[in-house]
Amino acid sequence: MKIITPQNKDKGDAGVDFAEKHLITEGKTFKRASKLQDYEQGIDCFIDNIPTDVKNTNDIFVCQIMTENGNINTRHPFKKNSKVTHYCIVNVPKDDLTKGKFIEHVNIKERLLRDFVKDEVNLKAFYKQLQELNGKNMKAFGISQSQACFKIKQLILPFLKADIGCSYVEPTEADGEISFKLYKSKKKTITAETNLDIKSILSKFKKENINSSSTENIITINV
């Protein structure tokens, strides 16, 4: 299982600060949402009056288990009461806004379809599944925390593209939640040079195998 670090609040704040500075420089209007709008509707700000969630990450956090009571909380923008419609994606170190990079301001469903979810039918079912999870207790999915996490992950995976994974954080004593996120798998590309090296190694093994006079521990490799 891939272990991830929970999204840091300071990192999120740095993303909003950078987005505000960058977009105002670009001539866009930027208005920060109220704390109530952020909590109840998932809105960080309004960019040209568009309700927006600023993301200082390429990953998508979808839900969390609160370890104190085992209750599941679906994250915005997947709640039924979510009002946010767009992501503002940035890449900003929390300690240096000058090194930040603006990625895009994009409709949430368009980005999900482009990068994470198979198609529109699966997107609708994906939202429905996450909304059904909201408010349930993890005991409904297993007698142990690990069983519940695995089951919830299996409920999410069928809607996703082949190169998208779902992972969750193994909590420490200091953590109050187990966060589930979608991420793009990093597949290693096999180049022509790499493939040639592999064939060379296999050829060497084959030659050594043929020349060996021993009848024990012989490895046969077909190439």
| Domains of the chain by residue range | 9-184, 188-223
Instruction: Give tens-digit pLDDT for 94-137.
Output: 778 788 999 999 999 999 999 999 999 999 999 999 999 999 99
pLDDT at 3 over 50: no
Residue predicted with more confidence, 161 or 204: 161
Residue predicted with more confidence, 8 or 165: 165
Banded model confidence at residue 218, pLDDT cuts 50, 70, 90: very low
Residue predicted with more confidence, 152 or 11: 152
pLDDT at 174 over 60: no
The pLDDT, as a whole number, for residue 187 is: 60
The pLDDT, as a whole number, for residue 12 is: 87
CA 75 to chain centroid, in Å, comes to 12
The pLDDT, as a whole number, for residue 215 is: 43
**Residues 55, 59, 61, 62, CA torsion sign:** positive
Query: What average pLDDT does the chain have?
Result: 84
Q: What is the average pLDDT across 16-40?
A: 96
CB-count burial class (<10 Å; 0-12, 13-18, 19+) for 87? buried
Cα(34)–Cα(22) distance, integer angstroms: 20
The pLDDT, as a whole number, for residue 24 is: 97
pLDDT at 188 over 60: no
The pLDDT, as a whole number, for residue 185 is: 85
Per-residue CA distances from 216 to 133, 195, 210 (Å) = 57, 30, 13
